[in-house]
Amino acid sequence: MTRTEPADTPLGDDFHLYDTTLRDGAQREGISYSVTDKLAVARLLDELGVGFIEGGWPGAMPKDTEFFARAARGELSLKHAALVAFGSTRKAGTTAAEDVQVRGLLDSLAPVVTLVAKSDRRHIERALRVDVDEACAMVRDTVSFLVGEGRRVFLDAEHFFDGYAFDPDTALRVLRAGGEAGADVVVLCDTNGGQLPLQLAETVREVAERTGLRLGIHCQDDTSCAVGNTIAAVQAGATHAQCTANGYGERAGNADLFAVTGNLVAKLGMEVLPTGGAAELTRVSHAIAEIANIAPDTHQAYVGTSAFAHKAGLHASAIKVDPLLYNHIDPASVGNDMRVLVTEMAGRASLELKGRELGVDLASQPDALTSAVRKVKSLEAQGWSFEAADASLELLLRREVDGPQRDVLDEPPFVLESYRVVLDHRAGGEVSSEATVKVHVSGHRVIATAEGNGPVHALDAALREALTPHLSWLDTVELADYKVRILPGHPGTDAVTRVLVETSDGRSEWTTVGVHENIVEASWLALCDALVHKSLRTAVMDR
Amino acid sequence: MTRTEPADTPLGDDFHLYDTTLRDGAQREGISYSVTDKLAVARLLDELGVGFIEGGWPGAMPKDTEFFARAARGELSLKHAALVAFGSTRKAGTTAAEDVQVRGLLDSLAPVVTLVAKSDRRHIERALRVDVDEACAMVRDTVSFLVGEGRRVFLDAEHFFDGYAFDPDTALRVLRAGGEAGADVVVLCDTNGGQLPLQLAETVREVAERTGLRLGIHCQDDTSCAVGNTIAAVQAGATHAQCTANGYGERAGNADLFAVTGNLVAKLGMEVLPTGGAAELTRVSHAIAEIANIAPDTHQAYVGTSAFAHKAGLHASAIKVDPLLYNHIDPASVGNDMRVLVTEMAGRASLELKGRELGVDLASQPDALTSAVRKVKSLEAQGWSFEAADASLELLLRREVDGPQRDVLDEPPFVLESYRVVLDHRAGGEVSSEATVKVHVSGHRVIATAEGNGPVHALDAALREALTPHLSWLDTVELADYKVRILPGHPGTDAVTRVLVETSDGRSEWTTVGVHENIVEASWLALCDALVHKSLRTAVMDR
């Protein structure tokens, strides 16, 4: 792996889409990647087509050392990206060649190295405890040593914007030390994330003029402006943008790679990805969220499941005529979909549109549409809500229309006879949940019992226990998220419980809904829909 | 309620912090406020000190009509904000005075009205199906009619930026029609959310010059730049910023009120809130998330629990020496905290203050305060939240201090031996819930069984069955509300369920909290706290 430039992107080395999900992004609270996770994330980023993948800090973090070792052994074969090792300039009072941490960067065999250096005089003096001369020498020595060893080097100027505001001369001296020693890009880092777009653009423009160096940008999201700041910096002359997948990062996070890329491609017309790359944005975003074990942000720009969801029944008929009047881009261009949310405000037009989106043709079957509208309205009056439960809505619609999948719906994969859940708080204080289900599946009557953390978990476990021997596809299916909402009753009626279940088979997620006055029954209804929906998909693929 | 200007903010009417959480923010997928919820959100926004609260669309939405009616009847007494009704310009081919929807705006009695008007010629012609002359007449007529009726009027120019790019003359004609008819502010709306900060600022500057009108800004987050765009617009001359709490809104959402306010106050030095308002940002953000039943975004700028969280290690000691070198602002200035897993409740000072509010004197017992802070932090790390559960917090605090009510806490009104809940879905489809409790009360061991709609209802019924003969005050006590939130587990731990129970005795209500991986046990913990709290009150009154 000796690539030091992005491959196959129209802009080539002229623009660097630089990803640091695996290093700076891993600072996010709650994220802890295994080495295998890191390799999987790197492969996804390469499929998207970013130019640089920063894999970690070899030498400093054992997992990162192993990541680079396995990558070098051939476990990571990158088609588009160059692999980058992150590290620090040498310590004070030694040489770069003798510095163990710097040697670790060489030993990683990464062809590109990004070095972090302090550029705020207060940090140099108070945290590093050296003077500016020594700080510049540390930069110069380390950069020229690594360049001499055949590495391409970028320099991250930490706390640059705060440092430049406090003492511009020091900040510029650090940049120049890096540039003169052979760093190809000096990256202006808003480490504390306090910048706003207009001033930041002004600073980038000024620094470009004063130094003539190739500039990069690295933004944190503490003002909720990381994406806007990154784009503003590019417009002001930066040609290297550091981002993280889904904006993962310390505190409020980093600039979201997917929003930055979407903006560069769709708004500024910059071809920063290989052909077809943009259409992978949504898939790669969700797959990385899965590996990071963080629920995808449904409202994330460009790639969120709600990013192109329209609630207003008001506009539904206009949207049908001309969707681009109501979307800022074509959702398909980033691999996403437009969704119409079915709510109380919904009428015929939006349900028909929704059907089209779900692959159910209601336009040609007006009676089915009438009946579906009536059912949705009646269920919504009872507390059901389909706006976040596409899979349940799809089942409802398919039950209304004639079509090739009727047989699956008419003969569901399993039929419940009964269940019983027992919850005990024993005299000793121990709490337990146990569920027994009796179901008919593939011609058998099966009884199974399982325990769980709570009633729904026990019921889900018992159902799997009963069905897995008979339904092979159930193996990959798991409950990904579970939400509960108690809905106040209308006068004269009791409160009901609405449960949303998100299910995953590792490749996609779908959401189902159940409503009942009893929370366990509501959960049961949603669980059943989730499995019927999966069996429908499986049946279609088998054909 | 006749206020039409912000009260008590240093900037007064010169700058409008305008909130549309209750109208545009309610378009977010999954949000469904009751009228009571809406009133509670409005009160929180007023406590923060926003200048304008848009309450909804009276006449068009029954809940919104009721909201304004109840506000007008005195249920909403605003200290800082002016109340705004949102609506549309008159229909084509009628007069404003005869338009039912426009009359609905008057009937709401809101002193301020924001009218939405289309300013993109394509929308005017294809969605509205009128020509530009008629579109301008619709604006002019409706604005002047409402101004004539004594209302202050703002005009939301929908799809302004796309419209201005497509046909600037039409877009400007619509603005001028509003301004000439008496609208105080014309609001440039990035309805599709496709703008980026630098261009948007350029457009705002240009429109200000060309029209001389007072400009507002309304941004959607489809490029992940809503906050940056809003701030850029303000720097370019807009003096009215429309936002929603936590950025709730359709698709990717709106500009987050808390990030925009944080940036205006902390970065631009604009005093848009009353004195002390900024320190309420975090509390109000979390309280509104609770009402919306949406888990707070832990990584939200300024107000997220991780917004000032630093991973230990590298920087920890340096942070201790000089925290401002590592934080873009002082977290306390927005009511947040630098530590991880700490809410506003967990600080010593605020817990002492909260104790005073609840009648528990912690100031004179520093050891008890230390111990209480430790317990609250530890419970919050496990998923407990006392923000909305004063009664549980009061019990926790009273257990720490010496005082006249210790005897009640040391000898609680009842002690649980065990419970069992059985949930059945029988072969015939019938669903039932039955609970048995074994408790010790007034020297007796009592066993009681009862049925209910669901597990918690059955448990509550069995407990009453057991206790009522022995505790006379239980008669008046009933479960008034019940909320459930599933909290995702940290890596390596299971999800937990948090239950909030609101209990009433006909004279007052109190809220308690329970957290457990098993929803029924979590509910049990909250139910027990509710009854112990009532017995404490009863014991005090008996003295």
pLDDT, position B340: 36
Domain region containing A214: 16-292
Provide, as residue numbers in chain B, all residues whose Cβ is less than 8 Å from the Cβ of A304.
Answer: 252
Cross-chain residue pair B251–A321, CB shorter than 8 Å: no
Q: What CATH code is carried by the domain that includes residue B247?
A: 3.20.20.70
pLDDT at B271 over 80: yes
Q: Which ipTM value was assigned to this complex? A: 0.75
The two tokens of residue B4 are 């039409």
Distance CA B305, CA B338 (A): 9
With vertex at residue A177, the alpha carbon angle to CA A173 and CA A182, rounded to the nearest 5 degrees, is 150
Exposure on the CB side of residue A439, measured as CA atoms within 13 A: 25
Is A29 or B158 the better-scoring residue by pLDDT? B158
Please write the tens of the pLDDT for every residue from B59-71: 888 889 999 999 9
Q: Which residue of A has its CA nearest to B257?
A: A224
The confidence band for B541, taking pLDDT boundaries of 50, 70 and 90, is low
For residues A73 and A209, state if they share a domain.
yes
Please write the tens of the pLDDT for every residue from A24-46: 999 887 677 888 889 999 999 99
Closest residue to A252, CB basis, from B301, B425, B490:
B301
Q: Which residue of A has its CA nearest to B307?
A: A251
Is A405 or B29 the better-scoring residue by pLDDT? B29
Q: Pick from B534, B286, B291: which is nearest to B394 by CA?
A: B534
Q: Quick one: which H or E segment has residue A38?
A: helix A35-48
pLDDT at A535 over 60: yes
Is B376 or A86 the better-scoring residue by pLDDT? A86
- What does the mean pLDDT of chain B come to? 89
The confidence band for A6, taking pLDDT boundaries of 50, 70 and 90, is very high
With vertex at residue A303, the alpha carbon angle to CA B293 and CA A280, rounded to the nearest 5 degrees, is 150
Q: Pick from B226, B277, B273, B276: which is nearest to B247 by CA?
A: B226
Query: Which of A377-381, A474-478, B235-239, B357-361 has the least mean pLDDT?
Result: A377-381
Distance CA B463, CA A356 (A): 51
Closest residue to B256, CB basis, from A224, A433, A454:
A224
Query: Which of A48-62, A335-349, A516-530, B212-226 has the least mean pLDDT?
Result: A335-349
The confidence band for A78, taking pLDDT boundaries of 50, 70 and 90, is very high
Neighbours of B100 (CB within 10 A): 12
Asked whether residue B41 is assigned to any structural domain, the reply reads yes
Please write the tens of the pLDDT for every residue from A165-202: 999 999 999 999 999 999 999 999 999 999 999 999 99
Please write the tens of the pLDDT for every residue from A268-296: 999 999 999 999 999 899 888 877 877 78
Q: Which residue of A has its CA nearest to B451?
A: A518
Provide, as residue numbers in chain A, all residues whose Cβ is less than 8 Å from the Cβ of B315.
Answer: 127
* Highest mean predicted confidence (pLDDT) among A156-165, A339-348, B303-312, B379-388: A156-165
Distance CA A124, CA A177 (A): 15
A513-540 mean pLDDT: 90
pLDDT at B493 over 80: no
pLDDT, position B480: 75
Backbone angles phi, psi at B495, to 5 degrees: -65, 150
CA distance A1 to chain B (A): 31
pLDDT, position A489: 54
What's the full length of chain A, in residues? 543
Q: Which residue of A has its CA nearest to B225?
A: A228
pLDDT, position B313: 41
pLDDT, position B219: 98
What type of residue is B164?
A: Y
Q: How many CB pairs under 8 A join A and B?
A: 312
- Residue ranges of alpha helices (H) inside B411-484 are 455-467
Asked whether residue B214 is assigned to any structural domain, the reply reads yes
For residues B71 and B218, state if they share a domain.
yes
A53-76 mean pLDDT: 93
CA distance A232 to chain B (A): 7
What's the full length of chain B, in residues? 543
Instruction: Tell whether A293 lies on the interface with B, counting CB pairs under 8 A.
Output: yes
For residues A383 and A273, state if they share a domain.
no
Q: What CATH code is carried by the domain that includes residue B444?
A: 3.30.160.270
Provide, as residue numbers in chain A, all residues whose Cβ is less than 8 Å from the Cβ of B516.
Answer: 431
A206-218 mean pLDDT: 98
Distance CA A423, CA B418 (A): 11
CA distance B335 to chain A (A): 15
For residues B88 and B172, state if they share a domain.
yes
Instruction: Tell whether B539 lies on the interface with A, counting CB pairs under 8 A.
Output: no
Cross-chain residue pair B417–A427, CB shorter than 8 Å: yes
Q: Which residue of A has its CA nearest to B200?
A: A198
B334-339 mean pLDDT: 76
Q: Choose from B421, B432, B518 for mutation: most chain A CBs within 10 A.
A: B518
Closest residue to A387, CB basis, from B30, B302, B494:
B30
What type of residue is A542?
A: D
Closest residue to B29, CB basis, from A252, A387, A416:
A387
User: What is the torsion angle, in degrees rounded to the nearest 10, for the CA atoms of residue A87, residue A93, residue A98 and residue A100?
Assistant: -40
Closest residue to B252, CB basis, from A304, A321, A417:
A304
pLDDT, position A34: 81
Closest residue to A301, CB basis, from B192, B221, B426:
B221
Please write the tens of the pLDDT for every residue from B355-407: 887 888 888 888 988 898 888 878 877 778 786 688 898 899 888 887 766 77
Distance CA A43, CA A53 (A): 10
Instruction: Tell whether A15 lies on the interface with B, counting CB pairs under 8 A.
Output: no
Neighbours of A51 (CB within 10 A): 28
For residues A178 and A259, state if they share a domain.
yes
Instruction: Tell whether B416 lies on the interface with A, counting CB pairs under 8 A.
Output: yes
B137-158 mean pLDDT: 98
The confidence band for A1, taking pLDDT boundaries of 50, 70 and 90, is low
Q: Which residues 76-105 of A are in CB contact (within 8 Å) with B?
A: none
Q: Which residues 33-62 of B are in CB contact (within 8 Å) with A?
A: 34
pLDDT, position B318: 61
Q: Pick from B491, B494, B490, B483: which is nearest to B516 by CA?
A: B494
Neighbours of A10 (CB within 10 A): 12
* Three-state helix/strand/coil letters over B333-349: HHCCCCCCCCCHHHCHH
pLDDT, position A140: 98
B249 backbone φψ class: left, alpha, beta (φ>0; ψ -120 to 50): left
DSSP-assigned beta bridge partners for residue B501: B482, B512
Asked whether residue B158 is assigned to any structural domain, the reply reads yes
Instruction: Tell whether B493 lies on the interface with A, counting CB pairs under 8 A.
Output: no
Provide, as residue numbers in chain A, all residues whose Cβ is less than 8 Å from the Cβ of B91.
Answer: none
Asked whether residue B477 is assigned to any structural domain, the reply reads no
Asked whether residue A500 is assigned to any structural domain, the reply reads no
Is A502 or A439 the better-scoring residue by pLDDT? A439
Distance CA B263, CA B270 (A): 9
For residues A197 and A55, state if they share a domain.
yes
pLDDT, position A87: 96
pLDDT at A492 over 50: no
Is B168 or B491 the better-scoring residue by pLDDT? B168
CB A490 within 8 A of CB A516: no
pLDDT at A514 over 50: yes
- What does the mean pLDDT of chain A come to? 90
Is A252 or B316 the better-scoring residue by pLDDT? A252
Q: Which residues 364-403 of A are in CB contact (within 8 Å) with B?
A: 385, 387-388
Asked whether residue A2 is assigned to any structural domain, the reply reads no
Question: Given CA atoms A232, A238, A244, A245 in this order, what sign does their dihedral have?
Answer: positive
For residues A254 and A345, state if they share a domain.
no
Provide, as residue numbers in chain B, all residues whose Cβ is less than 8 Å from the Cβ of A527.
Answer: none
Asked whether residue B528 is assigned to any structural domain, the reply reads no
The two tokens of residue B80 are 């800082």
Query: Which of A12-16, A59-63, A261-265, B491-495 has the least mean pLDDT?
Result: B491-495
Is A298 or B213 the better-scoring residue by pLDDT? B213
For residues B314 and B457, state if they share a domain.
no
For residues B386 and B465, state if they share a domain.
no
A390-406 mean pLDDT: 84
For residues B191 and B82, state if they share a domain.
yes
Is B413 or A217 the better-scoring residue by pLDDT? A217
For residues A172 and A30, state if they share a domain.
yes
The confidence band for A342, taking pLDDT boundaries of 50, 70 and 90, is low
CB A29 within 8 A of CB A253: no
For residues A357 and A447, state if they share a domain.
no
Q: Pick from B465, B479, B483: which is nearest to B531 by CA?
A: B479
The confidence band for A346, taking pLDDT boundaries of 50, 70 and 90, is low
pLDDT at B228 over 80: yes
Distance CA A267, CA A234 (A): 12
CB A64 within 8 A of CB A87: no
Distance CA B73, CA A272 (A): 58
A117-134 mean pLDDT: 94
DSSP-assigned beta bridge partners for residue B221: none
Cross-chain residue pair A328–B519, CB shorter than 8 Å: no
Cross-chain residue pair B263–A224, CB shorter than 8 Å: yes
Distance CA B155, CA B48 (A): 25
CA distance B152 to chain A (A): 26
pLDDT, position B184: 98
Cross-chain residue pair B224–A228, CB shorter than 8 Å: yes
Please write the tens of the pLDDT for every residue from B437-472: 999 998 999 999 999 999 999 999 999 999 999 998
Q: Which residue of B has its CA nearest to A28?
A: B311
pLDDT at B231 over 50: yes
Distance CA B224, CA A511 (A): 25
Q: Which residue of A has its CA nearest to B338?
A: A251
Instruction: Tell whether A324 lies on the interface with B, counting CB pairs under 8 A.
Output: no
pLDDT, position A338: 78
Asked whether residue B206 is assigned to any structural domain, the reply reads yes
CA distance A369 to chain B (A): 24
* Highest mean predicted confidence (pLDDT) among A144-153, A398-407, B359-368: A144-153
pLDDT, position B36: 87
Is B145 or A500 the better-scoring residue by pLDDT? B145
Point out the domain boundary residue: B349, B374, B402. B402
Distance CA A233, CA A203 (A): 9
Cross-chain residue pair B196–A231, CB shorter than 8 Å: yes
Cross-chain residue pair A30–B262, CB shorter than 8 Å: no
Q: Which residue of B has its CA nearest to A326?
A: B192
The confidence band for A324, taking pLDDT boundaries of 50, 70 and 90, is confident
User: Number of structural domains, chain A?
Assistant: 3
Cross-chain residue pair A252–B425, CB shorter than 8 Å: no
Distance CA A80, CA A6 (A): 6
* Three-state helix/strand/coil letters over B110-126: CCEEEEEEECCHHHHHH
Cross-chain residue pair B232–A227, CB shorter than 8 Å: no
The two tokens of residue B526 are 């909250």
A322-343 mean pLDDT: 81
Is A204 or A344 the better-scoring residue by pLDDT? A204
CA distance A61 to chain B (A): 12
Distance CA A38, CA A58 (A): 13
